[in-house]
Amino acid sequence: YPMEAVAKLGLLKMDFLGLINYSILAEARALVRQHHGVDLRLPDITFDDKCTYELLGSGETTAVFQLESPGMRRYIKELRPGSLAELAAMVALYRPGPMEHIPAFIDSKFGRTPITYPHPDLAEILEETYGVIVYQDQVLHILRRFAGYSLGSADIVRKAMGKKIASLMLQEREKFIKGALEQGYEQATAHAVFDLIEPFAGYAFNKAHSVSYAVVAYWTGYFKANYPVEYMTCVLNAYAGNAEKTAGVVAECSRLGIPVLGPEVNRSGVTFGIDATDDGIPAIRYGLASIKNVGESAVTELVAEREENGPYASLEEFAKRAGNEAANRRVLESLAKVGALDAFGPRGSLLASVERIGAMMAREGDLRSSGQSTMFDLFGASVPTPMMAIELLDAPEPTARERAAWERELLGVCIGERLLDARTAPPDAVLSREQLHAEPENKKVLLVGAVTGVRQQTDKQGRRIAFVTLEIFDGSSVEVPVWSRSFEQTASLWVEGALVAVRGPVRRRNDEVSVHCDEAAPYEPPNTDGQASRESTGAAGDPLAHEWHGPQATTQEEPPLTTPPPPAPRPQTAAGPTPAAGGYRPAPTANEGGSLGLRPSVPVPQPAPPPGASRPAPERRRVLINLTESDRPDEDQILLRQVLQTLLDYPGTDAVDLLITSAGRRWRLEMPIITTSYCNEMAERVGSLLGREDAVLVEGGALAGAGV
């Protein structure tokens, strides 16, 4: 029966909402109990945890119930809730109608605007929400206080307001005005109060509903803030099979500093689980059943056998013990493609040999299930049954791009060697969804990513268009609409797995952000496959970093500086080769190069000129930008992007070097791919950004020694 008929029959209609968050919380409790020995009952968690409110106030609320949308994240960061009541109010306000009052609510909380009430008699009702109507309950109390309604009759008015039937609304308005006049209020005041409550009645939450949601939001925030590895493991299990959700959660784990490790038959469980890196850092390990084409039934026996009798020492032992269910060709191919079998041989050879592996697994499984034995079984466990060795076929190894495409297809995200490394990104490229959300509407941005989905259709004029999904540097996905004019010129680019650079304006719709394609081109990342970095060899177009012992920046006249020769190749350090930057903006990584993201290179001594020798004049002007790293990496990154973008706003032929002070040493980073045109306006803008008078220097040319 439709709900209206049920209500007329006098029956009670109830809505039951199933929340996956409850499953996440239950599993998180179990993991915390297992790994920390703490038994957390949800009702016993107090609502005064400092870490939880710090997390909520940071706006980093991915995977926190009700607080994930970009708009909500923006508001919750501005509100910085300090109590469950404020959290509940924000949940209630973030809806059509009440939403327009969120800025007033936040400003009133912090005293930026005085708290005002529609009428002094309503202060008691609206005091807890800083004078803003937030809950349906408050509407009912206003109707009762201001117009003499009973709570029952007030609820009838609330329902009428929600249905927005004009004749009914007119009738209720007249009734309200009459009641208000009888209570001694003026007619103009009565009209103003009715106009105020009308938009809220149909859209606002009741307080019990809002508080219930806020409690779940707080619980999820509590686990994320205090037990992030356990919580994010459970979130990944909840969204297993949803590639877009999985990619977003893996990106959030990366932001939190939680390593997400690939599946491995000797380490993975059936589902996502907690493991550790070789350095002992807590990490999340992909579950085998989380691989596309590998169901839970295919790997349950495999995992149980390993846990009972120890790891698989060889491919032959794996074939003997792993069970019949895993002998399926599709299962073995998927396991091999994502590296779950890497311990047993090269990935290409394993893929070429899946039929041999599967045949031996099936034979061994049949022997076990039939109870048959070989003559070696007569000797007992002291004589192991010999097995024929599995000879892997020779096959070429997959390229880095093929491995990345397989991982993206089968795991939902590339977690191994990434083709898109933020350290080698173009200087003005968007690196994350968070950065994209911060960009203003209609601003043109550069988006670089791998095509993970293409949906082609036709517009009203019958012309072909496409909606493309790009996986960008942080592993998250961004939609790129490609309209007819652009599609005609770029149709060949939109192939799954292709790397593409897109430039176009930022667009927003219902808190979702996209980038519309004005132009696009293939993107070729710098080659970092274990070869010597181009930075170390000084290839054209790459940044050259070396320690700099030139004079301190000053606004006084100085002789032009000499650009030192490219440094000699540097030895590879334990941290690995310096990534080829290809003239792209360096980005920070853990323990690398401080907050501006420069990997510390081996200092190159500056050769002293012979006595009496004059400094050769540079071939062209070089604009030197003075930067100092702070203890706030995120802010340094934003500042660096703003500086580089400002330089690019003044096209020209002047070369650009960054003079970076870090930990008491100064580095000079040559940026061959970036050029600009020095002028007072540009220098003033950069100086304003950096907040220092010596922000910009020029060497060479007519402006040698000028400083701003």
DSSP 429: B
Is-contact 75 67, C-beta < 8 A? no
Q: What angle do CA 264, 268, 270 make, to 5 degrees?
A: 125
> Which one has a higher pLDDT value, 393 or 671?
393
Q: Give yes or no for residue 657 having a pLDDT over 90.
A: no
Q: What is the CA radius of gyration of the chain?
A: 32
> How confident is residue 557, by pLDDT bands cut at 50, 70 and 90?
very low
> Which one has a higher pLDDT value, 52 or 588?
52
**Strand 499-509 to 464-471 pairing:** unpaired
Is-contact 458 439, C-beta < 8 A? no
Backbone angles phi, psi at 676, to 5 degrees: -150, -175
Helix (H, G, I), strand (E, B) or coil at 275: strand
Alpha carbon distance 324, 368 (integer Å): 10
> How confident is residue 527, by pLDDT bands cut at 50, 70 and 90?
low
Q: For residue 141, give the nearest of 94, 204, 97, 211 by alpha carbon.
A: 204
What distance lies between CA 587 and its chain's CA centroid? 16
Alpha carbon distance 61, 71 (integer Å): 11
> Which one has a higher pLDDT value, 574 or 56?
56
Is-contact 482 517, C-beta < 8 A? yes
Q: Name beta bridge partners: 656.
A: 623
Tens digit of each residue's pLDDT (9 = 90 or more) over 394-404: 999 998 878 88
Q: For residue 652, give the nearest of 627, 686, 625, 620 by alpha carbon.
A: 620
Tens digit of each residue's pLDDT (9 = 90 or more) over 253-301: 988 989 999 999 999 999 999 999 999 999 999 999 999 999 898 999 9
Alpha carbon distance 584, 674 (integer Å): 9
Q: Give yes or no for residue 544 having a pLDDT over 80.
A: no
* Host H or E run for residue 469: strand 464-471
pLDDT at 601: 30
Alpha carbon distance 452, 495 (integer Å): 8
Alpha carbon distance 525, 3 (integer Å): 58
pLDDT at 609: 44
Helix (H, G, I), strand (E, B) or coil at 625: strand
Residues near 211 by beta carbon (within 8 Å), at least 6 away in sequence = 84, 88
- Percent composition of the chain: helix, strand, coil (DSSP 3-state, to 5): 45, 15, 40
Q: What angle do CA 200, 152, 14 make, to 5 degrees?
A: 75
pLDDT at 604: 32
Q: Name beta bridge partners: 458.
A: 464
Rounded mean pLDDT, 494-517: 88
Query: Which tokens belong to 426?
Result: 């173009």
Burial class (CB in 10 A: 0-12, 13-18, 19+), 301: middle
What distance lies between CA 8 and its chain's CA centroid? 48
Query: Which tokens belong to 98?
Result: 């009440």
Specify the residue for token string 């030192």: 564
> How confident is residue 206, by pLDDT bands cut at 50, 70 and 90?
confident
Rounded mean pLDDT, 297-322: 92
pLDDT at 239: 92
Tens digit of each residue's pLDDT (9 = 90 or more) over 78-96: 999 999 999 999 999 998 7
> How confident is residue 529, by pLDDT bands cut at 50, 70 and 90?
very low
Amino acid at 443: K
pLDDT at 565: 35
Is-contact 348 396, C-beta < 8 A? yes
Is-contact 455 466, C-beta < 8 A? yes
Helix ranges (DSSP H) in 135-227: 136-147, 151-163, 166-182, 187-203, 207-226
Alpha carbon distance 260, 623 (integer Å): 42
Residues in the chain: 708
> Which one has a higher pLDDT value, 560 or 514?
514
Query: Which tokens belong to 182?
Result: 């009888």
pLDDT at 2: 85
Is-contact 47 84, C-beta < 8 A? yes
Is-contact 489 462, C-beta < 8 A? no
> For a pLDDT cut of 70, what percent of the chain falls above it?
80
Tens digit of each residue's pLDDT (9 = 90 or more) over 192-202: 888 888 776 66
Q: Give yes or no for residue 448 having a pLDDT over 70.
A: yes
Tens digit of each residue's pLDDT (9 = 90 or more) over 155-188: 877 777 666 666 777 788 888 899 999 989 999 8
- For the ranges 32-46, 217-231, 575-589, 604-618, which has the lowest average pLDDT? 575-589
Tens digit of each residue's pLDDT (9 = 90 or more) over 453-469: 889 999 889 999 999 99
What distance lies between CA 370 and its chain's CA centroid? 51
Average pLDDT, the chain: 80
Alpha carbon distance 498, 523 (integer Å): 8
Alpha carbon distance 483, 490 (integer Å): 10
Alpha carbon distance 120, 101 (integer Å): 19
> Which one has a higher pLDDT value, 538 or 115?
115
pLDDT at 548: 54
pLDDT at 202: 61
Rounded mean pLDDT, 636-647: 83
- For the ranges 179-183, 237-241, 353-357, 433-437, which has the lowest average pLDDT? 433-437
Specify the residue for token string 């220097």: 697
Alpha-carbon dihedral 438, 439, 441, 447, rounded to 10 degrees: -120
- For the ranges 66-80, 386-400, 673-687, which has the lowest average pLDDT? 386-400
> Which one has a higher pLDDT value, 621 or 370?
621
Is-contact 163 139, C-beta < 8 A? no
Alpha carbon distance 669, 490 (integer Å): 35
Q: What angle do CA 690, 668, 650 make, to 5 degrees?
A: 50
Q: Give yes or no for residue 230 having a pLDDT over 90.
A: yes
- Residue 82 — left, alpha, or beta (φ > 0 → left; ψ -120 to 50 → alpha)? alpha
Rounded mean pLDDT, 655-668: 80
Q: Give yes or no for residue 337 having a pLDDT over 80.
A: yes
**Strand 665-676 to 654-662 pairing:** antiparallel
Q: Give yes or no for residue 574 having a pLDDT over 60.
A: no
Q: What angle do CA 497, 501, 507 make, to 5 degrees?
A: 105
Q: Give yes or no for residue 145 having a pLDDT over 50.
A: yes
pLDDT at 308: 94
Alpha carbon distance 662, 600 (integer Å): 10
